[in-house]
Structures are given as C-alpha cells and as structure tokens.
Amino acid sequence: MKSKVIIPDKFISKFKEIINPEEIDSFILYCKKKLTKSIRVNTLKYKGDITKNIYFEENKIILKQIKYVKQAYLIKSEVSSIGNTIEQLLGYFQIQEVSSMLPALILNPNENDIVLDLTAAPGNKTAFLAQIMNNKGLIIANDIDETRIKTLKYTLKKLGVTNTIIFSKDGIDFDINLKFNKILLDAPCSCEGIVRKKPRSLINWSEQLVKSKSDLQKKLILNAYDLLEKNGTLVYSTCTMSPEENEEVIDYLIKKRPNLKIENVNIENLNTNYGIIKYKLKEYNKNIKNAIRIYPHKTDLEGFFICKIKRI
C-alpha cells in the first residue's frame, strides 16, 4: 500500500520564508512527488556498458545516463526488485540517490590523497570516493553508530573497496594523529530532503529537531576543519534544506576559523540555487553564496546542500 506523504503545516510555513513565493506551490508539489530511482555503476567491479547488461535488456528497463555524474543512471521505467538482482548483490551497481553522489564528486579525491569520511555509514559516499580514487590512496571511514558500521562494512565489501580503514568514534572529537588532504562531512541532519523517498520522514519534524541537529553539526564541522592539512579541502553536505543546518553552520565555522575560503561549487547541467546569505533577521557571510542548494522542484532530485571549503 502506498504511503501518504506527510508535510506538516509548520514545515510549509517555514519554507514560505525560504523559497521564492512564486515557487512555493511547485516546491510542495515536488516534495509530494515520488522520487525516480537511480543507480551508480561501480567501475571497481563493472567496466562495461550497464545498459547492455542482460538483466536490464531482458527486463526492458530503460536507463537514462545523467550528464553531470557519468557513472549514474535514472531508471525511467517501472521496476520493483532491482535491489535483489544478482548484479546488485555482486556490486556491479549500487542503488543511490543522485543528490547523495554529488558530495564525493565535488570533493574529487585523487589516487594519492588521504581522505576522511567523518560520518560515513551506510557507506555509499565512501564507496564512491574509493571508486573515484581507483581504490588507491587511503580513506578513513568513521561513524559513531556501531549498528550502522555493520552496514558500512557490508557495503564496502560488496562493492570491492580495499583502500579504506573503518573506525567507530565520535566525530566531534575524532583524532587519530593524522591530517587529511580531503575530508567529507555528510552531516547527520533533520533529513527534510528525503521526503520524496520516505513519505513519512517529516512526521516528527520540528524546529527543535532542526536546532538540535544544527548544534551537533557545528561541533562536527569544527573538528573536521581542524583535521585538515594546509590547503586541504572539506566538503560539507546535508540532505536537508533548513538554513540553520546549512548556511548557519558554515557561518559559524567562518567565525571560529577565519583562515578559510568558500570555493565556488558549480555543477554543469544542474539547476542549483546559491547559498542563502540572509534568513529572517540573520545575515551570513557573503561568501556562503558559493555553496549550492538543490531543490526538488528545480532538479527533480532530493533536497540537498553542499559547500566546499579550503583551508588557507
């Protein structure tokens, strides 16, 4: 039975102050619209053309390659059991939302980098980082939740990732006496952006939840930044859209650690919005406009926020 999408009135009221007035109806409409499934081809295990794979051909599944993530495809036909296919279980491809592929793509580590994924579970982003690095260099994948660590281990093993060491520590004070070239902080958040995939994800949404996540994110990003080498790069991302969990967190970092640069994020062929620099009575650092907001009604994707930070 199809679940009804639940969007609280308080959520709608809040986003009327964030989204352009002429777009708010479209925004709410897309929040209620089912998300198109997508896959990421895992080139660590599969080198061919996935569209020619026997499973997709025999089941007449239509795949559309995504221009800005060449390893990714939208599934443009009805399919219900793709997660139980032999190809998926062998790690030839991974079911993953397109928005969640972008932080790894923007961090863009090379084969010589030492990378930290500070809040890594369930592991899709870690695995994509390893894929971009051709399983070379080193990734430290950390997560505080030992139950989610089991999923992380399974994901990396299934996808053939071999350049990664797993830790289970609190990201707020994570320290293994090592500095990193590249760090990904895909922070725990209120998950406003995933309502298209999980219709009941906003049922417990509240401003208090947003504030509590913002407080946690500020602690995490401060430690993440301190673990960077000079000239190192930190990508901060969330699958949520509240400014308190996004621009406010970056503004907090700038005030605490002013020796940084917010680099411009531009994804060709994707209709993103700039980072917000004014919200209610708050004014954020003007350079935060270089971050991107991914709105469902502009992209037909999950809601997301991504900011790229350089230590200088």
The residues assigned a catalytic role are: 239
Q: Are 161 and 210 in contact (CB under 8 A)?
A: no
Question: At how many degrees (to 10) do helices 207-226 and 247-256 cross?
Answer: 40
Beta strand spans in 176-253 (E): 180-186, 228-238
- Rg (C-alpha) for the chain, rounded Å, is 19
Q: What is the C-alpha separation between 297 and 241, in angstroms, rounded?
A: 13
SS3 (DSSP) at 91? coil
Start-to-end CA span in the chain (Å) = 53
Percent helix, strand, coil in the chain, to 5, is: 35, 20, 40
Q: Which residues pair with 62 in a beta bridge?
A: none
| Full DSSP string of 106-171 | HH---TT-EEEETT-TT-HHHHHHHHHTTT-SEEEEE-S-HHHHHHHHHHHHHTT--SEEEE---T
